[in-house]
Amino acid sequence: MRINPRIEAIPLSRTLALDARAKALAAAGRQIINMTAGEPDFDSPECARIAAKRLIDEGEVRYTAAAGRADLREAIASHLTRSRGVAFEASGITVCHSAKHALAGVLISLVHPGDEVLLLRPAWVSYDAQVRFAGGRPVTVAPRSDMGPDFDALEAAVGAGTRGLILNSPNNPSGFVATAAELTRLVEFAEAHNLWILSDEIYSRLVYAGEPFASPVQCGEAGRARTVIIDGASKCFAMTGYRIGYVATEKRLAATVGRLHSQLTGAPNSVSQAALLAALSEDPPEVAAMQEELDNRRRLVLTKLAAMGLETSIPRGAFYVFPSILKVQPNGDSEAFCERLLEEQGLAAVPGSAFGLDGHIRLSYATSLEKIDAGLDLLAAHIHA
């Protein structure tokens, strides 16, 4: 059978591939410490688990509307109105089978053949592939040394065919959190060049050291009009396996994404919708406890990286750190570095090349303090060997 070349061009997610390799080595009997994980190692909130089980026990596991349950869409709109300080309506919400699914729906709906989309490096691995699948051309933009947006580089990258940009704050893989001032400038840039902003806010509740989370929708009329929010339950509620997310935007685009998904996947999982509704409605205490523990782990990672002499920008959100390896790998080949690190030391990390920024590695601290301590000892042994 002939495979569509547009599909053939889509690579397997590098993070998933490395995670699979680490698990295969562990299954073969190797002692492996896996710091590639993109999911919290915490239980989902009790209220979400109870709501999901109740729906099953009551036999209410049926199709919902393609755009999601009406009460869930209202709850999402209310949550965003409270947390972002900008009015949202349920008609602008479409519930999807994950934030990744939501992202794909928006890109397919907005990107025309040949459109350019700016990706702020380092960028989550799926942005590039999804823009290409939608028929667009990703244009990567190098960051500042602290991993924030370089506005001179953005101006140099924008062209006649540029239609939008993807923002991820807090950022995967660097943990960078954009300030209100930076977002205001980004919105001004988008306004000047007539661009939409796709704001991936999946880590919005995971910010540290008193760092406030800000969204481009808070940056005046232009920010509200130009921004499409992508969010979901996976990271902040530790509900990765539920596969539930959403789009928050203007009514017409939300309806378009819903119409697209009605033909591709149908309604989102009804059990997961019930769980997300409970999590949004009850403000579960587990979220604050998870945030506190992740911050403790973050501090340990930064202390140990400093002790071994590896430079890194300070992560202020999410649950990753993105140190430079240029002092120990002068050619910046992060993939070769990570392969040796796994084979020789038994520590799994993700190469920065997967995020468009070689010369770095991503370490996830979504694992226990004991494993972080042991894993970073392996990293220290590797770089000082």
Asked if the model's pLDDT at residue 11 lies above 90, the reply is no
Class of residue 87 by CB neighbours under 10 A (exposed 0-12, middle 13-18, buried 19+) = exposed
Q: How is residue 286 written in tokens?
A: 């587990």
Mean pLDDT of the chain: 96
Our separate counts of H helices and E strands in the chain read: 14, 12
CA 137 to chain CA centroid, Å, is 20
Q: How is residue 362 written in tokens?
A: 């991503």
Question: Where in the chain is CATH 3.90.1150.10?
Answer: 5-43+286-383
Q: How is residue 247 written in tokens?
A: 């789009």
Asked if the model's pLDDT at residue 17 lies above 80, the reply is no
- Mean pLDDT along residues 209-231: 96
Give 332-350 pLDDT, tens digit per residue: 999 999 999 999 999 999 9
Question: pLDDT band at 80, cuts 50/70/90?
Answer: very high
Strand partners, 141: 120
Asked whether the beta carbons of 193 and 60 are under 8 A apart, the reply is no
Asked whether the beta carbons of 234 and 39 are under 8 A apart, the reply is yes
Give 46-72 pLDDT, tens digit per residue: 999 999 999 999 999 999 999 999 999
**Assigned CATH topology for domain 46-282:** Aspartate Aminotransferase; domain 2 (3.40.640)
**What is the model's pLDDT at position 342?**
96
- In sequence order, which residues have a C-beta less than 8 Å from that of residue 27 and are 6 or more positions away? none
Residue 291 neighbours by CB distance under 10 Å: 16
Instruction: Give pTM, 2 decimals.
Output: 0.96
Asked if the model's pLDDT at residue 255 lies above 90, the reply is yes
Report the run of H or E that residue 232 belongs to, with start and end: strand 227-232
**Assigned CATH topology for domain 5-43+286-383:** Aspartate Aminotransferase, domain 1 (3.90.1150)
Give 365-381 pLDDT, tens digit per residue: 999 999 999 999 999 99
Question: Which whole-number Å values give the CA distances from 260 to 6, 72, 129, 246, in the listed order?
Answer: 19, 20, 19, 14
Question: Where in the chain is CATH 3.40.640.10?
Answer: 46-282
- In sequence order, which residues have a C-beta less than 8 Å from that of residue 217 and are 6 or more positions away? 84, 86, 199, 223, 224, 227, 229
Asked whether the beta carbons of 73 and 67 are under 8 A apart, the reply is yes
**What is the model's pLDDT at position 385?**
78
Asked whether the beta carbons of 239 and 275 are under 8 A apart, the reply is yes
At 362, which amino acid appears? Answer: R
**What is the model's pLDDT at position 18?**
78
Asked if the model's pLDDT at residue 6 lies above 90, the reply is no
**What is the model's pLDDT at position 70?**
98
- Mean pLDDT along residues 220-243: 98
Give 87-138 pLDDT, tens digit per residue: 999 999 999 999 999 999 999 999 999 999 999 999 999 999 999 999 999 9
Asked if the model's pLDDT at residue 145 lies above 90, the reply is yes
Asked if the model's pLDDT at residue 10 lies above 90, the reply is no
Report the run of H or E that residue 54 belongs to, with start and end: helix 46-57
User: What would you report as the CA-atom Rg of the chain, rounded to the nearest whole angstrom?
Assistant: 21
**What is the model's pLDDT at position 328?**
94
Name the one residue in this structure whose structure tokens are 């919400």: 93
Asked whether the beta carbons of 341 and 32 are under 8 A apart, the reply is no
Give 175-211 pLDDT, tens digit per residue: 999 999 999 999 999 999 999 999 999 999 999 988 7
Q: Between β-strands 162-168 and 196-200, what pairing exists: parallel, antiparallel or unpaired?
A: parallel
**What is the model's pLDDT at position 27?**
93
Asked whether the beta carbons of 101 and 261 are under 8 A apart, the reply is yes
CA 242 to chain CA centroid, Å, is 16
Q: How is residue 229 written in tokens?
A: 């929010």
**DSSP-derived 3-state class of residue 116:** strand
**What is the model's pLDDT at position 37?**
85
Residue 58 neighbours by CB distance under 10 Å: 9
Q: How is residue 334 written in tokens?
A: 């992060």
Give 290-318 pLDDT, tens digit per residue: 999 999 999 999 999 999 999 999 999 99
